[in-house]
Every structure is written in structure tokens, then in C-alpha cells.
Amino acid sequence: MIHLENVSKVYPNGTEALKKLSLDIRPGEFVFVVGPSGAGKSTFLKLLIREEKASFGKLVVNGQDLMKMRKRKVPYLRRTMGIVFQDFRLIDKMTIYDNVAFAMRVIGTPEKAVKKRVKYVLKLVGLEGTEKRRPNELSGGEQQRVSLARALVNNPELLIADEPTGNIDPERSHEIMKMLVEINKRGTTVIIVTHEHDLVKEFGGRVIRIADGEITHDAFLPSEYHPDTPKGTDDEDETKEETV
Ligand code: ADP
């Protein structure tokens, strides 16, 4: 699903944000990416969604070679994934319904199917009844759930969330995390960048730690939610140390 081989990212100002990263993420995995501020976590996500282009190495996401991909093909890549941004990125002048429906309409989904699916995902995130409201009439936690509904609406194989609990209170964070676990159980690969150690410990799964542009830890952390590694993953090198 995701394959990185010696991937480096050097920004135009010379900052080497990622240094020869190699890793694979397989379908169905639940992955946390942790590490101190400035470690390269956001850069890693930006490479996966092709918001930034890797400088060197090999990078394949959902079967597409991102080193060779032309810019005009990027929207097609993005359609294979759902992205939850830390700052939600909802469109303020649109209703909640339209914010979620938008992602389906741009790919030409018939309105009848849009209606059915939007209703379903809003229910899934516990927001039925908010369809006619606008983002600024909702709390931060609710807005984050709208952004999650929007990320899920096209049934992506891969869900990428950048600090999805960064701007919401602890109780809501917990709820969002449970939803991400549920989505993962339904078959979507989930990658979450976070700095919240408590959530990582509680929810477990694969924990990749990046520090100074390099992977310093990559192991499966068992938890109540993730007692076992998903099928097909290789955890022979796992260390059970809790270095998150
Ligand atoms: P994190 O998400 O872990 O906080 P980032 O990926 O944002 O880390 O940043 C990694 C490094 O790359 C930092 O040193 C940061 O200052 C630098 N960096 C990030 N974005 C840019 C950019 N657009 N131009 C130059 N340097 C950048």
C-alpha cells in the first residue's frame, strides 16, 4: 500500500527534513507516527499525499509511483485516500451536508448516491441532524468529526490524519480515536500523526517514531484495541519497549 525506499526530502532552503527513510505500510494497518516537533512527521504525510515531492528515493502509494507522477495526476491519487487535517479545512460558507457531499460531487457521483452516503457517514460520526448548519455553528470537536466524515465519504482505502485530536478537548479526542479504530476495523488503513503519548499507549497499533528526519523506532504496541498485529505484517523485529 505504501512503500518507501531511501526516501529523502530536502527543502529548497537546504533543510533535510527526511533522511533515507525506508518502510512499508500494508493494507489494514493502524499506524501512529510520533516524534518531537520538527522531526519530519508533517513532511512524511505531505510526501504521501504529494503535497510535497520527495527529493530522492522510491515512493509508491496505493500502487502509484509518486516520483514519476505528474502534477495533474495528483487529484486522482488524492481520491484514493481520505485526509483529516489538524485545522479541519472546512468550507465556512457551505452547509455541513455540502461540505461532506462536495468530495463526492467532484468525482461526478449521482446526487441520489451522494444523499445516501452523506447521511450514512454523518451518522457514523454522530452528527445526524447537523446537515443544514454551517461549520462556525459547531464546536471544534464537531468540526473535526465533519472533517472525518468528509475524509470517509468516498470510502478510501487509506485514511491519513494529521494531529486529528490537536485542536479538541481530551474527551472528544478519545471519541475521534475510537472512530478511527472502528474505521480501521472496517478495512481502511489508518495513519495518524500525533504527539499525544497517552492516546498512543491506550490505542496501540504500529508505532513509528521519527526523530531528526530518521526512523528511530518502529514496533507493534499491543493494546485493548489492538491486541495483535494485523495479518500479513512482519513484526519479528519488534521490541516491546515503550519508547513512545
Ligand atoms: P514535524 O511535523 O515533525 O514537526 P516537519 O515535517 O514540519 O516536522 O519539519 C521537519 C523539518 O523541516 C523542520 O526542521 C522544519 O523546520 C523543516 N521544514 C518544514 N517545512 C519546510 C519548508 N516548507 N521549507 C523549509 N523547511 C521546512
Q: What is the pLDDT of residues 79-95, one digit of tens each?
A: 899 999 888 899 999 99
Instruction: Over range 101-112, report the average pLDDT.
Output: 94
Residue 105 has pLDDT above 70, yes or no: yes
Residue 100 has pLDDT above 80, yes or no: yes
Output the pLDDT for position 231.
67
Hey, whose CA ends up nearest to atom 22 of ligand 1? 11
The confidence band for 60, taking pLDDT boundaries of 50, 70 and 90, is very high
| Ligand 1 and 51: CB distance under 6 A | no
Instruction: Over range 127-150, report the average pLDDT.
Output: 94
Hey, whose CA ends up nearest to atom 14 of ligand 1? 38
The confidence band for 234, taking pLDDT boundaries of 50, 70 and 90, is low
Q: What is the pLDDT of residues 12-53, one digit of tens each?
A: 999 999 999 999 999 999 999 999 999 999 999 999 999 999
Q: Comparing 5-19, 157-171, 185-199, 202-216, which segment has the lowest mean pLDDT?
A: 157-171
**CB 138 within 8 Å of CB 130:** yes
Q: For residue 35, which atom of ligand 1 is closest to its CA?
A: 3
48-83 exposure pattern, b = at least 16 Cβ within 10 A, e = fewer: bbbebebeebebbbbebebeebeeeebeebbeebbb
d(CA 36, CA 238): 21
d(CA 224, CA 178): 12
Domains and CATH numbers, the chain: 1-80+157-244 (3.40.50.300), 90-155 (no CATH)
| Ligand 1 and 194: CB distance under 6 A | no
d(CA 32, CA 83): 15
Cα 47 to middle of ligand 1, angstroms: 12
Nearest to 17 by CA among 7, 25, 26, 30: 7
Which residues contact residue 139 at a Cβ distance below 8 angstroms, ignoring those fewer than 6 apart? none
| Ligand 1 and 11: CB distance under 6 A | yes
Q: For residue 39, which atom of ligand 1 is closest to its CA?
A: 3
Residue 157 has pLDDT above 80, yes or no: yes
Q: What is the pLDDT of residues 204-226, one digit of tens each?
A: 999 999 999 999 999 999 999 99
Order of all β-strands in the sheet with 158-162: 81-84, 158-162, 189-193, 30-34, 205-211, 214-221
